[in-house]
Amino acid sequence: MPIISADDILSSADIDNGRELARVYCKGCHSIEAGDPPPAALDHGPPLIGIFGQEVARDASFEYSQALREFGGEWTHERLYSFIYRPMLTVPGTLMGHQLVQKPQETADIAAFLISLAY
């Protein structure tokens, strides 16, 4: 898993590209923006709107994996980037076991987009 600082993520990220990439990579399983309908996938994940800076596994209406609940803490720049880039390496046992995003820059763009939703 790459070690990346919050400054690196934000300084190189393109929020608009992150929005487009989130629509491609994330929207099939997660609501990514206010007003999005629930995902069609039966095994969908929790909404990603406003998660940055919030407690991990905070949505009481979603059944998170034990691994993610134990991960705990808050979604920081580094944690969000790492989880998007390599979910199973960041939180072994997470239900989000697949890695869709392959490129560090795309990961940074998606993370920056999700971070922007918190403001």
- As a whole number, the mean pLDDT across the chain is 88
Cα end-to-end distance, the chain, whole Å: 27
CB 18 within 8 A of CB 2: no
The tokens for 101 are 């995003």
| Domain positions in the chain | 6-36+45-116
The pLDDT value recorded for residue 70 is 97
The pLDDT value recorded for residue 99 is 73
DSSP 36: P
The pLDDT value recorded for residue 11 is 80
The pLDDT value recorded for residue 90 is 94
CA distance 35 to 92: 31
73: amino acid identity, one letter: G
Residue 52: other Cβ atoms inside 10 A: 21
CA distance 79 to 58: 15
Cα distances from 76 to residues 40, 43, 45, 60, 118, in angstroms, run 28, 25, 19, 20, 12
Bridge partners of residue 74, in order along the sequence: 55
All residue ranges of the chain with pLDDT < 70 are: 1-7, 9, 97
pLDDT digits (tens, 9 = 90+) for 65-87: 999 999 999 999 899 999 999 99
Tell whether domain 6-36+45-116 is in CATH 1.10.760.10.
yes
